[in-house]
Structure 1
């Protein structure tokens, strides 16, 4: 930061550099408007219809357009023109930025001198042009502050040697990070919506090129007049882009009382003779295609919320960030709609543009919905819940596949004792494929031993007959039961 008190005597004071920068910016932006007006007068001075027009009138007309770019309404023949040509306003802001960047020193005194000088020049132009009403003077002060403040302030703060911020600026650090980042994300969302509207206007111009050519033919302009008309129309292109923002969001806009251009309905009416207005949409969107516009605005809010995702780790921060994004987007859109609309003349031309309050509320709500949706889905709690549910679902599918596998008994199958023994035997016994049977060699026939006679006793019972008697019958009867307990059916089963 350069200290004004310690500035060497041979160097120019910082406030002087600010004054010079403001004068350069005002003269440059005035010349861009006044010189073409004078050139048009010179080119058409030979026309008998312009005999009563003098070159000072051309200068006043050019100065009036310059003031209109600063928000000063023009009052001519009892009618009020308040539609700001935003293209000229952007040109004035750019002139202030370039002049301050090149000439002014990086001090707060230079910035204050630049803004103050520019406001004085704006008021002086109002007085010299004859627009000395109270409303015009107040608008000149506000417009000069806005244009010079944006241009020179951006030049001062965008350099590496910018001055130290004031102490009150440090109070912003106490604001939660989610709110601070949410404000930036809201502006980013509006920028994305404006980009979408710009593409839409290009499509409108392409589809309505025949109507625009009919307007040019009806005006019968050639040569220098055609160039002046094209230059004048270029200053209104940003206005049409901002009107397209209201069309994308849903509420729509008007070009004259009684007309309405929206995705759901189109009501045409007499419009000013400007070729660019021939590009207005002639038909509404069929069916539910009009929902694509609000969906695009919500998608812009979701993309902008990516800037806040890391700062919204708590649910409180999620709500604060979503609310800040929506409020910033809605407020900035309302300001832009107010600048782009107004009055363009008497009668039905007193209403041009969109309702700032309605469009601001709609855009802010749609952006907030998209931002909150992304922040909720990207929250760690939500991600953990989705991951856990997916894992449980996959485990459940794996268990179901294992339960329904062929050849395996299910948990609902009831096994009887005999079926269980048979299953165990079938699992233990070798199958013919895995263990082929090998024939065993024939065994030698058993030679029965000769019976040894026992001396008969007095109570000796007669010898038991082979295969007969009570014990033999009982033993034979018990053999099948033993086989059943072993899970076999006798010798045949063993083979």
Structure 2
């Protein structure tokens, strides 16, 4: 490709702007296209398309938890209009822009170097906030209005949270994303601090397990109630008369409110209950019904005055039991080990550790439940519908108690299913050691005997091979030794004639012994080595000089 046609790399902030604009555009189209279809089929009493676009933009802001001011005209009343604030977020539909923002965060993290992701996120958040401000400032006709500050900040906040989650998922660690290595900082702590942190983190995760279990059980309750009241729900659909497309959009709206209905079901099982209007209350211990909005799903509200409804308080207890069982399986109850090492009575240490664990889990779960309960409350801003939802503080306190009770029951029940459940950590270790010593003695003896037999067999084999090697070496040494009579005769070894003291020299006709051996075809003998040939002469050491007087 020619150099002039090669694409230039975009700065990180500009890449963030592009990703944010793409995310906002896709989420806007997902809302605007069904709104235009409803307008085309005559579902809106608005002849102008700009009004429809303004309604679609308002619905997009509602997806991002932005409150909307609704002005209702009342020509026959003393006051010409009613003004109220509507805020009831369909969190199920909010998952669409959150998922797109999470994808954008992953792409930005993939395009950024270490410690430079903030540049891409700064551009992305600014662009998304600008889109929210533009939608909030769309021309309105007095019925639906949005605060520019809320339209700017709340979409940017949701985008930032989801994008950071996606970037963290892509980077793997915060060190690769922001340059802060939390693992290294934790590793520098002492062992007791790490144990305490591990225990606290296990309690937090167990609280999350309890809340997730509670949400799943309450969702099953909502589904069962809808199935049981399906006839009433369908009848209300027919009374609304929204048509095929309008009924489909209404069903999507119900799907968006399923997280809200699940939170209301949790409040109902906990005891304090929830309300749809200031003069209504729905609880497992009693209910007071009142007029509700014309949504078909409200036909499945709990019926008042059923004597068997208090049984449903076991739902949060069951969720707490699941968390207690999970925590025992996780094996991070360091407080129980610490108390067992200091209390001789195992029953007392187990009771104290279980009580502390249950109370801590209930408190943490209550704190974590505050935000979902608050986000599922709302208002429609008209008449008694200014109060919709649950009493957050009362429901959180009730959930803390029920979940703590369930955690204690689940933890002790899971402990009872184990082998020798009332033993502490030291007793369990000692019992395991004794069992291993008693049960494995015969196996150890058999292994020792087998090992000894193998060693004895190997030793005998080595001994036989050593004997054979010694015999072969001795035979080879004897073969290399000179034979008798083949030794060379020297003047000192020459025979001396009897009666003569001097040695007789061989005659000229005689040959030396070596010559004879050579003539006989034998190998010549080696010359005799001197007597002191094998003796090593010690190295002489210089004497130290004596100092002159």
Shorter-chain TM-score: what band?
Answer: 0.5 to 0.7
Aligned counterpart, 1:126: 136
Instruction: Verify the 8 A CA contact 2:358 2:407 in the aligned structure 1.
Output: yes
2:365 maps to what in 1? 329
Distance 1:289 1:318, change over 3 A: closer
Aligned-partner SS, 2:57: helix
Q: Contact 1:319–1:372 (CA<8 Å) still a contact in 2?
A: yes
Q: CA deviation at 1:110?
A: 2.3
| Structure 2 counterpart SS, 1:151 | helix
1:148 Cα deviation after fit: 1.2
Judge conservation of contact 1:178–1:308 (CA < 8 Å) in 2: no
Q: Please, which moves more after superposition, 151-160 or 360-369?
A: 360-369
Deviations 1:228-266 (A, max 9, x none): 222222222221112112112222111112111111112
C-alpha contact 2:68 2:146 (8 A) present in aligned 1: no
Distance change in 2, residues 1:96/1:210 (3 Å): same
SS of 2:378's partner is coil
Change in Cα spacing, 1:134 to 1:208, as seen in structure 2 (3 Å) is: closer
Query: Which residue does 2:37 correspond to in 1?
Result: 39
Cα deviation, residue 332, structure 1: 2.4
Q: Which residue of 2 aligns with 1:151?
A: 162
Deviation at 1:373, TM superposition (A): 5.0
Q: Is the Cα–Cα contact under 8 Å of residues 305 and 375 in structure 1 kept in the other structure?
A: yes
Match of 2:94 among 89, 92, 99: 89
RMSD: 3.4
Deviates more, 1:368-377 or 1:291-300: 368-377
Report the secondary structure of 2:41's partner residue: helix
Q: Deviations over 1:269-320 (max 9, x none)?
A: 1111111111212245525524323422432432443465324333498677
> Does the 8 Å CA contact 2:167/2:177 hold for their aligned counterparts?
no
User: Secondary structure in 1 aligned to 2:65?
Assistant: coil
Alpha-carbon contact 1:264-1:290 (below 8 Å) kept:
no
Matched residue, 2:227: 206
Q: Is the 8 A contact 1:301 1:366 kept in 2?
A: no
1:461-489 Cα distance to aligned partner (Å, 9 max, x none) = xxxxxxxxxxxxxxxxxxxxxxxxxxxxx
| Per-residue deviation, 1:165 | 4.7
Q: Deviations over 1:349-380 (max 9, x none)?
A: 11111112222222233323333555577599
Runs of at least 5 residues in structure 1 that lack an aligned partner in the other structure: 1-8, 389-495
Asked if structure 2 preserves the Cα contact closer than 8 Å seen for 1:247 and 1:261, the reply is yes
d(CA) in 1 for partners of 2:88, 2:330: 36
| Contact 2:18–2:124 (8 Å) recurs in 1 | yes
Match of 2:241 in 1: 220
Aligned to 1:188: 209
The residue that corresponds to 2:254 in the other structure is: 233
Deviations 1:100-147, CA, capped at 9 Å, x for gaps? 33465253432343233323322332223559x999344345422432
Is the alpha carbon distance of 1:59 and 1:324 closer, same or farther for their aligned partners in structure 2, counting shifts above 3 Å?
farther
Structure 2 gaps, min length 5? 1-6, 72-82, 340-351, 428-549
Q: Structure 2 vs 1, CA of residues 333 and 28 (structure 1 numbering), >3 Å: closer, same or farther?
A: same
SS at match of 1:345: coil
Per the alignment, residue 524 of structure 2 pairs with: none
Secondary structure of 1:223's match? helix
Report the Cα distance in structure 2 between the residues aligned to 1:134 and 1:229, rounded to whole angstroms: 22
State the Cα deviation string for residues 408-451 of structure 1 (Å, max 9, x = none).
Answer: xxxxxxxxxxxxxxxxxxxxxxxxxxxxxxxxxxxxxxxxxxxx
